Amino acid sequence: MSTRILLIGGHGKVALLLEPQLAERGDTVTAVIRNPDHEADVSATGATPLVADIERFDLDQLTNLVSGNDVVVWSAGAGGGTAERTYAVDRDAAIRSIDAAAAAGVRRYVMVSYFGAGPDHGVPSDDGFFAYAEAKAAADEHLRASGLDWTILAPSALTLDDPTGLIDTSATESQSVARADVAAVIAASLLDDSTIGRTISFNTGATPIAEAIRA
């Protein structure tokens, strides 16, 4: 049976690698994008583009957006810029999307975070990464407390290397991982209920992805 997936951040580098994997296995993917100029790129992957500005959508609008899907995957990000916009997207919009999933009865939610995210992220307040670290910590914490069937995926530094299909989920320090492998981890986690209620941090490694993420 086809899974209906709402992918928020549908034109990101990871999302564009994820969409064809999901489409090829028969899932129905609606990819939320902000810029209508990106519709053709998304359509080419087999996903259906949906133009919506999640930064400005309120809870009711997001609940309508989420409704009717089986899964929400958050792969959006402000992508740097001002701290104000980072908080607006990576914290506030993410939290609203979690509340929207709960309101719409969409139980499954997969959040793409980063290796080392959390209240003890250790990023100094004068560092340009601080707002993102704070925003992700807040959004991840909200998801853990949501009562949803959540998974938080925390890849290390992202590269544009070719996929290896191999990761390490036991490492305690962030190294790097290919975006293509991150996409494969998201796809695999949607098929493995043992990932529910877990935060999975990972680098490139030596263990096949499906095996590495299995509890």
φ, ψ of residue 66 to 5 degrees: the values are -75, -30
φ, ψ of residue 112 to 5 degrees: the values are -90, 115
pLDDT for the residue numbered 202: 97
Ramachandran sector of residue 13 (left: φ over 0; alpha: ψ -120 to 50; beta: rest):
alpha
Q: From first to last of its 215 residues, what are the pLDDT tens digits of the chain?
A: 789 999 999 999 999 999 999 999 999 999 999 999 999 999 999 999 999 999 999 999 999 999 999 999 999 987 777 999 999 999 999 999 999 999 999 999 999 999 999 989 999 999 989 999 999 999 999 999 999 999 999 999 999 999 999 999 998 999 999 999 999 999 999 999 999 999 999 999 999 999 999 98
- Classify 171 as helix, strand or coil: coil
Q: Contact, 131 vs 87, CB < 8 A? A: yes
Residue 17 is encoded by which pair of tokens? 């690698």
- Work out the angle between the directed axes of helices 179-189 and 13-24 (0-180°, nearest 10): 40
Residue 191 is encoded by which pair of tokens? 């098929």
Q: Model-level pTM greater than 0.85?
A: yes
Q: Contact, 149 vs 195, CB < 8 A? A: no
Average pLDDT score, the chain: 96
Q: In angstroms, how far is the first alpha carbon of the chain from the final one?
A: 24
